[in-house]
Amino acid sequence: MATELRVEHLTAGYGMLEIVRDINFTVRTGQRIGLLGRNGAGKSTTLAAVVGLAQRQQGTITLNGQDISTKPTYRRARAGISLVPQARDIFPSLTVEENLLAGLNGRPSREALEFAFGMFPRLRDRRANGGSQLSGGEQQMLAVARALVGQPQILLLDEPLEGLAPQIRDELMDTIIQMTTRTGIGCLLIEQDVDVVLGFADQVLVLENGRCLYAGTSEALRKSPEILEQTIGLGKVQ
């Protein structure tokens, strides 16, 4: 059965501060969504609100028709939504394998662990290394792999390529594409590199000042350079 995450008329922020307003999108298993916008446009807040880390002020968030808008973060994770935040959220004092086991949420699964190692061979080679002993790229791989072992149906990635060397960026992005293809997981990706997002996503949302300026296909956005120029400062993509 396909999983569907639906966000309707979402207004969210922190305390009394409103960051995003009237955001609408749907992510289904097997679908790739991209989220673009300048720094401060509200991209990270949108994902944080979906998993309960930012305050939902208006609107609804449903998973397979069930309203999860008021559910705590751990309940949303157990329901099948996983967020890899912009910060490399790993346990530096734990080994690679221990970090991955922590992502199983109390549901031991050697199969899921081996699948993650299959997706990230670097991590298999370093399974006994501490998180603090990994390079920045390896730490990001571990953060994605730890989300993966929990076997989510919807994966939210907040700038997973930030600060990585070009070769590592390409390696990680290739793995993310392979992962989504093999698992059929639904994925929403935030990334500053427009070409990466347009090459990855079927559908794209573009935010400006907390509002959605564009929602449509990647192909249509490629043909609308004026939108990219207005919202991101780019008038041409590859």
Q: What is the pLDDT of residues 106-163, one digit of tens each?
A: 565 788 888 899 999 999 999 999 999 999 999 999 999 999 888 899 999 999 999 8
| Mean pLDDT estimate for the chain | 91
Tell which wins on pLDDT, 204 or 225. 204
Q: What is the pLDDT of residues 5-23, one digit of tens each?
A: 999 999 999 998 999 999 9
pLDDT of 236 reads: 47
Contacts 24+ apart (CB under 8 A), 158-162: 158/43, 158/44, 158/47, 158/83, 158/84, 158/85, 158/86, 158/190, 159/44, 159/86, 159/190, 159/191, 159/192, 160/84, 160/189, 160/191, 161/191, 161/193, 161/196, 162/86, 162/192
Mean pLDDT computed over 214-225: 92
Distance of CA 238 to the CA centre of its chain: 23
Instruction: Write out the H or E segment, with its range, that includes residue 12.
Output: strand 4-14
Residue 176's SS3 state is helix
Q: What CA–CA distance (Å, rounded) separates 182 from 195?
A: 22
- Measured in degrees and rounded to the nearest 5, phi and psi for residue 156 equal -110, 120
Instruction: Kindly indicate the confidence band of residue 41, based on its pLDDT and cuts at 50, 70 and 90.
Output: very high
Mean pLDDT computed over 175-188: 93
pLDDT of 235 reads: 46
Tell which wins on pLDDT, 34 or 115. 34
Q: What CA–CA distance (Å, rounded) separates 34 from 142?
A: 22
pLDDT at 223 over 80: yes
Tell which wins on pLDDT, 223 or 156. 156
For the chain, the C-alpha Rg in angstroms (whole number) is 17
Biggest CA–CA distance in the chain, Å, is 50
Question: What stretch(es) of the chain map to CATH 3.40.50.300?
Answer: 1-80+154-168+184-238
Amino acid at 183: T
CA dist 219 → 159, 190, 216, 222, 225 (Å): 21, 18, 9, 5, 11
Q: Which CATH superfamily is domain 1-80+154-168+184-238 in?
A: P-loop containing nucleotide triphosphate hydrolases (3.40.50.300)
Which tokens hold the place of 220?
């249509």
pLDDT of 231 reads: 74
Which tokens hold the place of 238?
């590859």
pLDDT of 133 reads: 95
Task: Say what percent of the chain tops pLDDT 70.
Answer: 95
pLDDT of 108 reads: 57
Alpha helix ranges (H) inside 52-106:
73-79, 96-102
Rank 47-51, 160-164, 175-179 by mean pLDDT and report only the highest: 47-51
Q: What is the pLDDT of residues 81-102, one digit of tens each?
A: 999 998 878 999 999 999 998 8
CA dist 161 → 55, 68, 202 (Å): 26, 29, 19
